[in-house]
Chain A
Amino acid sequence: MSVALDLIGSVVIASFVILIGLRLNQTIAGSADAAGASQTVQEAAVDIVRSIEYDFRKMGFGLPQANQAVVLNDSTRIIFRVGDRNNPGIVNTIEWFLGDTLKNADNKRSRILYRRVNGGQAVGASLGITLFKLRYFNSNGNIIPYNSTPTQVTSIETSVRVESLYRVQGQFNATDNSVGYDESYNKMGYATSFWQQKRLTARNIRRHG
C-alpha cells in the first residue's frame, strides 16, 4: 500500500515539477528572446545615430558660405554639402533618405535608411528603422517648410525609431494597446528604441557672413 502511495505521490509531484519546468522554459525563452531583441535594437539604434551624427556634424564644413550647406530639406530626405578635409576645395554631397517599407518583413513598418555620397550608389542596411523624421529651423528658431529655402536652415531636429523585425513578448502592441506576455504571437509587440536630437546645429551652418 505504502509503495503504491509513494508511486502516486511521486508521479503527482513529478507532474507538477514538469509542468512548472515547461512553463518556466516558455517564460525564460520568451524573456531571453525579448532581451536579445532589445539588445539588437539598441545596438542598431546606436550605430545608426552615430553614423547620422558623424555626417551631420560636418555639414557645411569647408564651404565659403554657410548657407550653401543644405541643398534639399525634405521630411525624410536631406541632401547637404561637406568639404573634403584632406582635399581643400573638393566638396562632397551627402544624402540621407528613408526607403520604402520592407514588404517581406514581419514588421511591416520597417524600412531601410540609405546614405548616398556624390550621387553614387545608395548604401543601407535593414536594421529595423521605422522612423526617420527631420525638421528644419531658421536662425530665428522658426520651422522651415519642407522643400523650401534650404539656404535658411541653421538647425535640424532628427528623430529616429528602430524596432525589432519580429515580435517579442513583453512589448507594447499598438494594435490592441496592450503588452503581451503570454499571448499568441500576433498579440505581442516589437522591441523599440527611440532617439531624438533636438535642434542639432552643426557649427558650420550657424556661422554667418
Chain B
Amino acid sequence: MGKSSIVYVMGLSCLIAISLRNISDSSTSSMDAYTNYYARTMAHNVVAAGANVAVGKFLRDTTLTGGTFSIGGGSVTYGFQNASDSEVTMTATSVLNVETGIGADRGAKRDTIVVSMIRPSFAMYGWFTNQEINGYKDSSGALSPFSGAPDWKITGDSVWGPAHTNGHFNLAGSPYFHDRVTGGSSPTIIKFKPTDKPVFDNGNQWGIKVDRPKSNLANLQNVAATDGILFQDQDVGLTFNSDGTVHVKIPPSTGAIQDTTTALTSLVKNPAKGIVIGVKNGDLRITGKYSGNITLGAFSNPSGKKGNVWIDGNGIVAADDPRTNPNSNDMLGIVADRFVYIAKDGSRNSSSVVNIEASIYSQNGELTAEDFWKNGKQGTVKLFGGVIQNTAGSLGTFDSGGLKTGFYYNIRFDERFRTRSTLAFPRRAWLIATWWEN
C-alpha cells in the first residue's frame, strides 16, 4: 500500500507541475505583450522628446547639421536635410536597449520622427496687426484725430483669410471670421443684443504672439541690391503696364532725373528669381497693371520719415486677374518700412473704386488713406490679397448713415498667398510645419 501511495502522489505531483508550468507560460506571455508595448512606447517617447530637443537646438542655431545625445535611457540621433532659408527637414531616430519581448520583438527598440520646419511668409495672413488700434501718422509724423483709438470689427464686417493680432481684437455684435483667428490675448467683446457673438468659422486660439523680425526688411533690401534694383536717396514713381513694362519717374512728380519705360526683366539684375524693386531712404509711388511676380520695398532713412509706399489713381492690379483666374502667376508684394498710403485724389467721388491686388506689409505703420477724415466720400477700396501691419489702419469715418469721409473697406484674401509669396517677402520665424511619427 505504501509504495502504491507514493506512486499515486508522485504521479499527481508531476501532472500538477506540468499544468502549472503551462499556466505560468500563458501568464508570462500575456505580460510580454504589455512589456513589449511598454518598451515600444518608451522608445517612442524617447524619440519624441529627442525630436523636441533637436528642434529647440535648431531654433537657437540654424546652422546646426545634426548630432547625437542621450535622453530618457536611450540615445537619439538627429540630422537636418534639404536646408534652405525657408525650409528644412529633420529626422530623429531613437535607440532604446530593453531586452524584452519574444521572438522578433526582443532586442533594441527603435523609433523615428521626421519633422518639417518652415519659415512661412507673412503673406499667408489676410489680416495681421501688432495692435488693433489706429496708428495714423502723416508723412511728416503728425497724428490724426483718430490715432490711438481702438479698431472695432462689428456686425456686417467680415474677415477672410487667416487673421491674427499680437494684441486683442475688439469685436462688437457678430462680426464674421472665415478662417482661423489667433491673438495675443482674448478679444474685447461687446453685445448689442443677447444673441450677439463673433462668428469664428474655423476656430480661434488666444495667447499666441507672432514676431515680425526687422531683419526681414534688411534681407529684402539686400535681395533688391543683389538680384533686383535698389534706388537710393530719392522718391521713385512706378507705373506698371500689363505688357510687363514699367514707367519709372524720378522724382515721381516731374521725372526730371529719370523718365523712362523699361521691361521689368531688363530693370533688375536677376529676373529669373523674381522681380524685386527697392527704394532706400525714399518713398515709392505706384499704380497701374502689373505682370509677373513682383516685390516692392520702401526703406526708411535714419530720420524715419521715408520708407512709405503711396498707391495712386485707381490702384494697382494684376494683368491676369487672380479674382477670375486663381492660377494667375501675377503676384505683388508691397513692403513698407513705414506706411502704405492710398494717396488722396481730387477726382474721386462716392462711387469711385480703388482696386489693389497685392499682399501689403507695413513694418512700423499701417495701410491707410491719406487724410481719410478730411476728404469727403471717396468711394470704396477693394483689396484682394492681405494686409500685415503694425496698427489697424482706417480708410474712412462712419456715422449712423454709413460712410462719412474716406473709403468703404472691402478685403478679400487671395488664396494663392496661403502657400506662395513673392520673392523675399517678409517671413515669420521658424516653426514646425509637419511632424511625422510612426
A21-B12 in contact given A32-B26, A38-B30, A67-B203 (Cβ < 8 Å) = yes
CB of A20 closer than 8 Å to a CB of B: yes
Interface size, B (range) = 35 or more
In contact, B203 and A203 (Cβ under 8 angstroms): no
A46-B33 in contact given A13-B8, A38-B27, A209-B210 (Cβ < 8 Å) = yes
Q: Which of A54-62, A107-115, A124-132, A174-182 makes up part of the contact surface? A: A54-62
A208 contacts across to B, CB distance below 8 A: 180, 182, 205, 208
In contact, A203 and B164 (Cβ under 8 angstroms): no
In contact, B16 and A204 (Cβ under 8 angstroms): no
CB of A149 closer than 8 Å to a CB of B: yes
Q: How far is the CA of A6 from the CA of B3 in the complex (A)?
A: 12
CB 8 Å contact bits of B8-27 with A (1 = contact, 0 = none): 11001001100110110011
Q: Chain A CB within 10 Å — which of B22, B34, B434, B436 has the most?
A: B434
Q: How far is the CA of A85 from the CA of B436 in the complex (A)?
A: 8
A106 contacts across to B, CB distance below 8 A: none
Chief secondary structure at chain A's binding surface: helix
A6-B26 in contact given A151-B203, A209-B210 (Cβ < 8 Å) = no
Q: How far is the CA of A204 from the CA of B437 in the complex (A)?
A: 10
CB of B435 closer than 8 Å to a CB of A: yes
Interface residue from A6, A64, A67 paired with B418 (Cβ < 8 Å): A64
CB of A35 closer than 8 Å to a CB of B: yes
Interface size, A (range) = 35 or more
Other contacts beyond A32-B26, A151-B180: 4, CB < 8 A: A28-B19, A39-B30, A46-B36, A209-B120
In contact, A24 and B12 (Cβ under 8 angstroms): yes
Interface residue from B23, B36, B202 paired with A31 (Cβ < 8 Å): B23
In contact, A24 and B180 (Cβ under 8 angstroms): no
CB of B53 closer than 8 Å to a CB of A: no
In contact, B30 and A203 (Cβ under 8 angstroms): no
B432 contacts across to A, CB distance below 8 A: 203, 207
CB of B431 closer than 8 Å to a CB of A: yes
Q: Considering the complex, give the chain B residue whose CB is closest to the CB of A50.
A: B37
CB of A145 closer than 8 Å to a CB of B: no
Q: Considering the complex, give the chain A residue whose CB is closest to the CB of B162.
A: A209
Q: Considering the complex, give the chain A residue whose CB is closest to the CB of B4.
A: A10
In contact, A35 and B27 (Cβ under 8 angstroms): yes
Interface residue ranges of B90-148 to A (CB < 8 Å):
114, 120, 124
A62 contacts across to B, CB distance below 8 A: 434
CB of B63 closer than 8 Å to a CB of A: no
CB of B29 closer than 8 Å to a CB of A: yes
In contact, A32 and B23 (Cβ under 8 angstroms): yes
B434 contacts across to A, CB distance below 8 A: 61-62, 83, 204
A60 to chain B, nearest CB (A): 8
In contact, B162 and A32 (Cβ under 8 angstroms): no
B20 contacts across to A, CB distance below 8 A: 28
A-B contact pairs, 13 of them (CB 8 A): A17-B5, A17-B9, A38-B26, A58-B437, A64-B418, A65-B162, A65-B180, A65-B202, A152-B203, A202-B435, A207-B431, A207-B432, A209-B164
